[in-house]
A and B are shown apart, each in its own frame.
Chain A
């Protein structure tokens, strides 16, 4: 068989942001050998991300929808918007981790390199137009994240989290592959567009094997974005991993998983919407219930935020269930807002960690408002936003998702979501009560650094600005998804 492979300059140009991140990652690993101060390595990472962001910005202007590498890789507004989320996630994570990793005595150069590799994997996922590319991007992201989780290798907690994450992650990859295999067998192609074409022309939307393949893929993505009942790994991994990595992976892999879900379900399996909606609705309800209710009984803030992120995955899923481009817009909008508020909350958690003090118990937040009023006020903003109380951005995110859900005729589901949202307000506000209305049990020392302050300023300002002027972001999202 003759297979001519031609790679044009257009192809290379389209993956410049990914290449930039990978090259900077490799440079960082070399730099790590000669540079003693890891702050410089971290700054190199931020510089590389900004460079890649610039590349995406340049590509954003010239392309509507562009398929490169023999239709394997797609460049469109949808992918580019997700890439922006990943960049923001990466930069904020680097900012909050510099000081923290020193305190944890795990300040390695590889840490920053792996963050860049993981992010490039997510970007490949968001841009995948073929199931092969999707799988490779997913594994690049996942393998890097497994290592990052276990990076504090002297700490049993971190080791254990890495083991749990690795085994369940690899297990879910096998499911993804089996789903891909079945889909490939039925449609004869791995290309997302061609799969959609094959489903409609061959009329196999009702085929049980097709259905099985779809379910296997949904199971795999549910693992990645931690939807109940596939969320079991999340609380343990989030608690055991370095807190900065918890922040990173509560946003990055989740957003990448939803990017892929949106593209696969709406792109490839668009004709099977009736089938996947019936699978996703119970998943969404169960996810919101598990996340909101189990979080009530947590005493460790990282575990609590893990359950909170599970609940948020449920809300984001609602936009996809709505099944319209507007629903997807609401979901993507929510993801962007979620990025800011979640990383902000984790930044405060990291600030409480100082030498010889873990600062992860809810009791440690008692009386924080008296000793550190600014940090307490910021935490208040993030908690209000996560709970969805106006005028913060979290309210806007939830509002649009619920509105689109009702617009698509799923009113009962929206009511269930609002009930769980109200339940979840309890554990967010409990922290606020602890901070403002309880007396401190012990002296708390905050660990501050300039980059941390920048990250906190950016996240808190964005949470407030997006809450008060939501139309700007929404317009941007709508514009990005238009070509999709």
Chain B
């Protein structure tokens, strides 16, 4: 059996990759994918903990996270499209009307 530690390390690495991607990438869609990666990293650790602790709560939370992530994707992409209609760019650096 794979020990719990490995899962937790995997989850931490996935979360870090997602976070790094979110902070360093400049394309909105790629940033969005990185967000999903972070959420899924959390799901990995929740399932691992849930199995290890023999408690169902973690897995229930995972289902909710997946559901909310889907809703979030719908809203996020809708917002990106609404922006794109007015300003044809999805580069973060060019989204800079508001500043000061």
B-binding residues in A (CB < 8 A):
1, 3, 131-132, 135-136, 139, 143, 146-147, 150, 153-157, 159-164, 166-167, 170-171, 173-174, 177-178, 180-182, 184-185, 188-190, 235-236, 239-240, 298-300, 303
Closest Cβ–Cβ distance, residue A397 to chain B (whole Å) = 28
Q: Which residue of A lies closest to B23 (CB)?
A: A171
Q: Are A174 and B68 in contact (CB under 8 A)?
A: no
A and B contact pairs by CB, cutoff 8 A, 6 listed: A143-B71, A157-B97, A162-B83, A177-B65, A190-B57, A235-B98
Q: Are B15 and A185 in contact (CB under 8 A)?
A: no
Instruction: Give the interface size class of chain B.
Output: 35 or more
Q: Are B100 and A154 in contact (CB under 8 A)?
A: no
Given A143-B72, A157-B97, A240-B98: A167 touches B56 (CB 8 Å cut-off) = no
Chain A residues near B42 (CB-CB < 8 A): 174, 177-178, 180-181
Given A178-B15, A239-B98: A185 touches B8 (CB 8 Å cut-off) = yes
Most buried by A among B28, B38, B42, B56: B42
Cα A204 to Cα B15 in complex, Å, equals 24
Q: Are A167 and B61 in contact (CB under 8 A)?
A: no
Q: Are A139 and B49 in contact (CB under 8 A)?
A: no
Q: Are B57 and A189 in contact (CB under 8 A)?
A: yes
Closest Cβ–Cβ distance, residue B5 to chain A (whole Å) = 11
Give the residues from 12 to 71 in chain B that come closer than 8 angstroms, CB to CB, to chain A: 15, 18-19, 22, 28, 31-32, 35, 38-39, 41-42, 45-46, 49, 52-53, 55-58, 60-61, 64-65, 68, 71
Interface string of B78-100 (1 = CB under 8 A from A): 11101101110000000101111
Cα A162 to Cα B38 in complex, Å, equals 21
Chain B residues near A182 (CB-CB < 8 A): 45
Q: Are A236 and B98 in contact (CB under 8 A)?
A: yes
Cα A149 to Cα B99 in complex, Å, equals 17
Chain B residues near A167 (CB-CB < 8 A): 22, 28, 31-32, 35, 76
The total of Cβ contacts below 8 Å across the A-B interface reads 128
Q: Which residue of A lies closest to B8 (CB)?
A: A185
Closest Cβ–Cβ distance, residue B14 to chain A (whole Å) = 10
Most buried by A among B8, B19, B71, B76: B76
Given contacts A162-B82, A163-B95, A174-B39, 6 further A-B contacts (CB under 8 A): A170-B35, A177-B42, A181-B42, A181-B49, A190-B57, A235-B100
Chain B residues near A159 (CB-CB < 8 A): 79, 82-83, 86-87
Cα A243 to Cα B65 in complex, Å, equals 31
Q: Are B98 and A184 in contact (CB under 8 A)?
A: no
Q: Which residue of B lies closest to A154 (CB)?
A: B86
Chain A residues near B75 (CB-CB < 8 A): 143, 146-147, 166
Closest Cβ–Cβ distance, residue A109 to chain B (whole Å) = 18
Chain B residues near A131 (CB-CB < 8 A): 61
Which of A135, A236, A240, A298 is the one whose CB lies under 8 Å from B61? A135
Q: Are A139 and B57 in contact (CB under 8 A)?
A: no
